[in-house]
Amino acid sequence: MASEKLIQVSDSDFQQKVLDSDKPVLVDFWAEWCGPCRMLGPIIEQLADEYEDKVTVAKLDVDSAQQVAMRYGIRSIPTVMLFKDGEVQETLIGVRPKGDYARVLEAAAA
């Protein structure tokens, strides 16, 4: 079951929900057809629940939000980026252990 804390972002609302956010935002760039993306999904949902007070966690479907994916040079998915104050702070490519993402979120929330 998907976490209610997880938000979906698109080309049209990326600026408002991610770049203009007053909290750090972790964005999971993914696609429905991507097997590794589906493997990462439950980890992203857990992070959304665990860090809801400190960080916003978002998913962006690269097939439907191609402008944002191109702007950030997404070449392979899953790619997870942490945005803070409208800037990319960290980029993690591929499926990584949950601790890698948690470490990035801890640093951002500090």
Predicted local confidence at residue 110, as pLDDT: 80
Strand bridging mode 25-30 / 79-84:
antiparallel
Spell out the SS3 assignment of 35-104.
Answer: HHHHHHHHHHHHHHHHCCCCCEEEEEECCCCHHHHHHCCCCCCCEEEEEECCEEEEEEECCCCHHHHHHH
CATH code of the domain in which 99 resides: 3.40.30.10
* Residue whose pair of structure tokens reads 């960290």 in the numeric block: 90
Q: Is residue 2 part of a domain?
A: no
Q: Is residue 87 part of a domain?
A: yes
Using CA atoms, how far apart are residues 69 and 66, in angstroms rounded to an integer? Answer: 5
Catalytic residues, by residue number, are 34, 37
Work out how many domains the chain is built from and give that number. 1
Q: Which structural domain range is residue 56 located in?
A: 7-105
Per-residue pLDDT 10s for the chain (110 aa) are 456 789 999 999 999 999 999 999 999 999 999 999 999 999 999 999 999 899 999 999 999 999 999 999 999 999 999 999 999 999 999 999 999 999 999 998 88
Residue 25, SS3?
strand
The two most distant CA atoms of the chain are separated, in Å, by 35
Predicted local confidence at residue 2, as pLDDT: 54
